[in-house]
Structure 1
Amino acid sequence: MKWLLRSVLISSLLAVVVFSYIFFSETGELPTFIDHWQGFILVIFLANIGAIGVYYLNRVFNQFLPWNERRSLRFLVELLTGLIIFLFLAAVFYFFYVSPSISLDQENDFWVNYWDGAVKLVIILSVLIYIYSLINFSMFSYNQYSVVQIETLRHERNQLRLQFQALKSQLNPHFLFNALNNISALSTGDIKQAENYIRKLAETYKYILITEKKKLVTLKEELEMVSAFFYMQQIKYEDWISLKLSVSEEIAQTFIPPLTLQLLVENALKHNVVDEDNILIIEISADESGIMVKNNCPKRREHHKIKTRNISFQIGLENIKKRYRYFTREAIKITSNSSFIVRLPIISDEE
């Protein structure tokens, strides 16, 4: 309601100023409201009709010819349509207010005498519509900038939330409890292996803490973390698990959301039976087409918590998918037959 009242006041004021200026430039005196009240009322009415028409016409243009698609054409169309509307209304003003006050014989002389005034009117209308179009475009640009900023902040918040979920799964007490149990068992036997285990555990937690607020890390950093994590798992599974890495140095400099590979490796360990009769082989390879994480499916786990584990598995994959959507339009591809394969897009630019 306020914007409507403000628009009416501005349109009315401009109409009065333009009418008074044209009248003064042609007669040498300002029009008084007492003598020309009909002209004032009519020009205010027509100006507001024109302003409303231009406003709603621009709303149509926003749908069929938006500013962000073809700015120059939109600007030209808005300028021409606005000028046509107000010239038409100027003709209406002439027909209803000026024409009745002059005789047919005087009409030709009128256009000769007041042609300069008509030209001035066209110029003034063109300038006003041009200014309006500039303001309209500026408001559009500001609104678009605000929308982009809000979307960016929302995406960053969601990205941090998803990353926190991934981090939380690694910082849970169960994971740390198992690690401490392994250290305790190793410390009574192979001291060297216990030292290596502690070192790998420290590397894992250091990576988790360092990447807490990072959106992306290099594939090389992620692979180093996965190797450390996998080393700790080998303490439990020994030769029943195997990790094969095949990534060129060039591809290793591309980017990946933190803990992506670690989640996939952990899922492979969690959802398959691993023993001397069921050897689990995990392969991580990458080329220009993408990153492939592949594991054979020796035997799926069957127990009373299978439904819960499947839900956990789906949540982990969904977390990875959502985080990738912030950086690429390429979809993550998942195939599951004799092997379970996840194909991740390459993210070449950290921005």
Structure 2
Amino acid sequence: MEKRILFIITGFLSGAGIGLFVYYNLTGQFPLFVHGLILSTGTGIIGILQLWVFYRISQWLNERIPLEKQFSSRIILDFIINATIGISVSGVMLMAILYIMRPNPVAEIWQSFKESFLTLWILIVVLVLMYNIIMMVFYAYYHYAEGQISDVKIERKQLKLQFEALKSQLSPH
């Protein structure tokens, strides 16, 4: 449950932050309260959905290419796929928002807001990189904890066997 709440909060804050940043980058000013609230909510929901897609892609890749067997290629592939999807989705969403704001041809929108697109895509790549680093940290911690638990289980089993051996030596039967 805590993982889901953290997931939702992280996705919402990153999406809302990127949405407000892109708006400021486009207009040079922050949105009014109501408009900013709508913008933050919309982009926050998009952020949650994108983070969920990144997570599902990572799970899908874990089934196909386990991290234990091909760590570096798996991480690089995860980064490339997530960055490509993040850039594509954010580009389409920004293009749709700009088209709604100013119904111009797509080529004209691209020429007018090329820097905003590039800034957004750099942010997406950085966030995907941070996501991959955080996932690697969780993976390393999980395997470290799993190793510690297995060591304790083995030690406990050895102590139990030693205890049984001592009991059998003391027992007259």
TM superposition score category, shorter chain reference: 0.7 to 0.9
- Does 1:121 pair with 2:120? yes
Structure 2 CA distance for aligned equivalents of residues 117 and 149 of structure 1: 48
The residue correspondences of 1:125-144 to structure 2 (distance < 5 A) are 125-144=124-143
The residue correspondences of 1:184-203 to structure 2 (distance < 5 A) are none
Q: Given the superposition, is the C-alpha separation of residues 46 and 92 from structure 1 closer, same or farther in structure 2, using an over 3 Å criterion?
A: farther
Gapped regions of structure 2 (runs ≥ 5): none
Q: Of the two, which has the highest radius of gyration?
A: 1
Number of corresponding residues: 173
2:85 match: 85
The residue correspondences of 1:153-232 to structure 2 (distance < 5 A) are 153-173=152-172
| Alpha-carbon shift at residue 147 of structure 1 (Å) | 0.8
The residue correspondences of 1:93-108 to structure 2 (distance < 5 A) are 93-105=93-105, 107-108=106-107
Alpha-carbon deviations, 1:234-262, whole Å to 9, x = none?
xxxxxxxxxxxxxxxxxxxxxxxxxxxxx
| Alpha-carbon shift at residue 127 of structure 1 (Å) | 0.9
| Alpha-carbon shift at residue 161 of structure 1 (Å) | 1.2
CA contact (8 A) 2:22 2:120 kept: yes
- Does 1:12 pair with 2:12? yes
The residue correspondences of 1:1-351 to structure 2 (distance < 5 A) are 1-35=1-35, 38-105=38-105, 107-173=106-172
What letter matches 2:31 in structure 1?
P
Gapped regions of structure 1 (runs ≥ 5): 175-351
| Alpha-carbon shift at residue 64 of structure 1 (Å) | 1.9
| Alpha-carbon shift at residue 67 of structure 1 (Å) | 1.8
CA contact (8 A) 1:12 1:44 kept: yes
Structure 2 CA distance for aligned equivalents of residues 33 and 129 of structure 1: 29
Between the two structures, name the one with larger relative contact order (CA 8 Å, sep ≥ 6).
2
Alpha-carbon deviations, 1:100-156, whole Å to 9, x = none?
222335x43432232111111111111111111111111111111111111111111
CA contact (8 A) 2:16 2:40 kept: yes
Moved over 6 A (4+): none
Instruction: Give the TM-score of the pair, scaled to structure 2.
Output: 0.87
| Alpha-carbon shift at residue 41 of structure 1 (Å) | 3.5
Q: CA RMSD in A?
A: 2.1
Q: Given the superposition, is the C-alpha separation of residues 79 and 140 from structure 1 closer, same or farther in structure 2, using an over 3 Å criterion?
A: same
| Alpha-carbon shift at residue 173 of structure 1 (Å) | 4.3
Alpha-carbon deviations, 1:298-329, whole Å to 9, x = none?
xxxxxxxxxxxxxxxxxxxxxxxxxxxxxxxx
CA contact (8 A) 1:43 1:93 kept: no
The share of aligned pairs that are identical, in percent, is 23
Q: Which has the higher helix share?
A: 2
What letter matches 1:5 in structure 2?
I
